[in-house]
Amino acid sequence: MHRELVQISSELIKALDNAKHVVVFTGAGVSAESGVSTFRDALSGLWARFDPMQLATPEAFLADPELVWGWYEWRRQLLLKAQPNSAHQAIVKLAEQVPKLTVITQNVDDLHERAGSGEVLHLHGSIFKPRCFNCAKPYTLAEPPAMTHEQALPPPLCPDCQGMIRPGVVWFGEALPQAEMEAAFTAAENCDVLLSIGTSGVVQPAAQIPQLALRSGAWVAHINPEPVDCQHPRELSLVGAAGHILPLLLTD
């Protein structure tokens, strides 16, 4: 057991050693060390510069499709250049050290998959799976245009119905994908340890997942540079960057 972690919690390490099923629940913070902006960090988060209601709702898209599509194409271009970091890689190694591990992410990037995680439950969709706003048919995107900054771009049109192509993400006011939600809630109810990594825990219904695991008897550890207020005896806050803390949880 790593000395730094013994000081943090030997109980968590014991729970991990005995766990039959571990859930890893991630938010934007797990990709921060890959250079991907979070949403709500006061200085560097996307929402410090943009109003979420102007960019991440279906109403915003219909009101100004070029603004919204251009913003997502800019982010897609950045994500294509980003690489998985040591947090994504530690999750892959952890999966080799426990009998069963489920990755649930709120992220629309594919960095877990590119690090080598198998099945990943994407609760808020994927920026790489656009579809028609009108008929929902999936659309294959070309490389994003070279952009040096966010810029307005007209969305492509659906070859079948001429509807506008939209990003394959879940916007505010939209339902989460049902199969992923059900699988995520079932995993949270049946795991022994849940690691909640790099999420502010404010967006519903995903934010219920750690509480669901706690109520079902699991240990829950929050990994975040900001301390997380813990109310439950089986809940811990491991303060630090995911890329630093997660490798400490691995068996040497």
Catalytic residue among 124, 149, 222, 244: 124
Q: Does 174 bind ligand BJW (CB under 6 A)?
A: yes
Give yes or no for residue 209 binding ligand BJW (CB under 6 A).
no
Residue 246 within binding range of ligand BJW, rule CB under 6 A: no
176: three-class secondary structure by DSSP: coil
Q: Is 124 a catalytic residue?
A: yes
- Shortest distance, position 123 Cβ to ligand BJW, whole Å: 7
Residues 6 or more apart in contact with residue 142 via CB below 8 angstroms: none
Q: 215: part of which helix (H) or strand (E)?
A: helix 208-215
Shortest distance in whole angstroms from residue 245 CB to ligand BJW: 8
Q: How far is the CB of 168 from ligand BJW (least distance, A)?
A: 9
> Is residue 39 a contact point for ligand BJW (CB under 6 A)?
yes
Using CB under 6 A, which of the segments 16-24, 128-136, 168-176, 179-187 binds ligand BJW?
Answer: 168-176
| The binder of ligand BJW chosen from 5, 33, 95, 166 (CB under 6 A) | 33
- Give the integer Cα–Cα distance in Å for 99 and 109: 26
In 50-177, alpha helices (H): 52-55, 58-63, 65-81, 86-97, 111-115
- What spatial distance separates the first Cα and last Cα of the chain, rounded to whole Å? 7
| CB closer to ligand BJW out of 144 and 190 | 144
Say which DSSP state 154 is in: P
Residue closer to ligand BJW by CB (options 22, 222) is 222
User: Which one of 31-39, 92-100, 112-120, 231-239 is the stretch in contact with ligand BJW (CB under 6 A)?
Assistant: 31-39
Residue 156 makes CB contacts below 8 A (sequence gap 6+) with 139, 141, 164, 165
Whole-number Å distance between alpha carbons of 26 and 61: 26
Q: What residues contact 17, with CB distance under 8 A and at least 6 apart?
A: none
**Among all residues, whose Cβ is closest to ligand BJW?**
29
User: Residue 40: which residues within 8 A CB-CB, separation 6 or more?
Assistant: 47, 200, 202
Answer yes or no whether residue 28 interacts with ligand BJW by CB under 6 A: yes
Which listed range, 61-69, 147-155, 173-181, 187-195, lies at the site for ligand BJW (CB under 6 A)?
Answer: 173-181
Q: Which amino acid is at 199?
A: T
Does 32 contact ligand BJW by CB under 6 A? Answer: yes
**Active-site residue set:** 124
Residues that bind ligand BJW (CB under 6 A): 27-29, 32-33, 38-41, 45, 56, 106, 108, 124, 169-170, 172-175, 198-200, 202-205, 223-226, 241-242
